[in-house]
Amino acid sequence: MWSLAWPIMLANLSVPLVGAVDTAVVGRLPDPAYIGAVAVGAVIFSFLYWGFSFLRMGTTGFVAQSLGAGDRDEVRAVFGRALLLAALLGIGIVGLQRPLGRGALWAMEASARVEDLALAYFSVRIWSAPAALINYVVLGFLIGTQNTRAALLLQLVLNLTNVALDVLFVTGFGWDVRGVALATLISEYTAALAGLWIVLKYLRCRGGRWRRDTLLSLPRIKELLRVNANIMVRTLCLTFAFFYFTSTGARFGDTILAANAVLMLFQNFLAFGLDGFAHATEALAEAPSGAAIEPRYAAWLPLPAFGRLASRWSTAWSSGSPADS
């Protein structure tokens, strides 16, 4: 568990680190509205992109199941279906950028200055939508194959590129919030290309072949969407809490909004770090498929009482008695 979790924890901690650098860079500018605008833009994209985080979670589960079953063709097909869905959703987001941006800023109720800067940030970063969603799929695939060190490498490429370009564009070129957005856009596409290269190299080494009948299987596409529906609702509820927090702060003025943005960085460090255990559990729990669920899951739980309960549950489920479990 720990061998899988620690690379993801380090990778996840680099995400709020980028937010800290964004805040530090624009914090050197003379107006707190710059920090507020980046905070507003970031929470809009968090709400927008993380609404589709099922592309990461769902891909992890289905890839781990297919790999556990030894079906290498299906491993490829799962990745291909998720990749196709991510590209289509990303293009759709770009196409709807005007109503999405205006609607989000209307709901945020920030000052006119913050809204103008946030709209400038949004209009640049929105073009990263296809790459951002593809990165979810790539990360989900790497976690599903328990290749968390490659996931760490990919996140470091993404976030270190973002940090370097942040400093160059804002401090060096003086591009304020547009520079922050452009840095994120370039780093997203850089990571997407690097991630696709890593995954394709893995698939070539592990064998299997691309099959159109499984790749474009309508029942399996529907299964992907059905399984991910609950995840999408859960994530939207979670991100709505952060959206509401930022929106409420914006009503108190630019300085309060900027201060809350700094405080949220501490929350993000904690949450993203602990998520490493969640991601590792997803990869481990999904690896056995079908009736191969084993009582050995009990060993992952620290308390014997919970271990015995998990053992009885898995035995009942494997014997086809879910009602009893």
Same domain membership, residue 323 and residue 249:
no
What pLDDT sits at residue 297?
43
- Structural domains of the chain, count: 2
Same domain membership, residue 325 and residue 197:
no
CA pair distance 188, 36, nearest whole angstrom:
22
**Closest of 246, 258, 244, 251 to residue 110, by C-alpha:** 251
What pLDDT sits at residue 293?
40
Which token pair is 106? 């209307």
**Contact (Cβ atoms closer than 8 angstroms) between residue 140 and residue 111:** no
What pTM, to 2 d.p., does this model score? Answer: 0.74
**Closest of 58, 175, 198 to residue 125, by C-alpha:** 175
Same domain membership, residue 234 and residue 115:
yes
CA pair distance 244, 265, nearest whole angstrom:
16
Same domain membership, residue 224 and residue 77:
yes
Same domain membership, residue 241 and residue 135:
yes
Same domain membership, residue 209 and residue 312:
no
Per-residue pLDDT tens over the stretch 21-47 = 777 788 777 777 887 788 777 778 877
What pLDDT sits at residue 87?
92
What pLDDT sits at residue 17?
66
Which amino acid is residue 4, in one-letter code? L
User: What domain range is 166 assigned to?
Assistant: 2-291
Same domain membership, residue 222 and residue 303:
no
Same domain membership, residue 151 and residue 299:
no
Same domain membership, residue 141 and residue 263:
yes
Same domain membership, residue 318 and residue 222:
no
Residues 146, 54, 296: CA angle, nearest 5 degrees: 40
**Closest of 107, 90, 96, 76 to residue 251, by C-alpha:** 107
Which token pair is 183? 């840095």
Q: How far is CA 42 from CA 23, 63, 78, 167, 220, in A?
A: 11, 30, 30, 18, 33
Same domain membership, residue 107 and residue 251:
yes
Longest dimension (CA), the chain: 66
Which H or E element spans position 245? helix 218-250
What pLDDT sits at residue 186?
93
Per-residue pLDDT tens over the stretch 76-111 = 888 988 899 899 999 999 999 888 888 888 877 777
What pLDDT sits at residue 93?
92
Same domain membership, residue 150 and residue 52:
yes
Residue numbers of the chain with a pLDDT score lower than 50:
289-307, 309-310, 313-314, 316-325
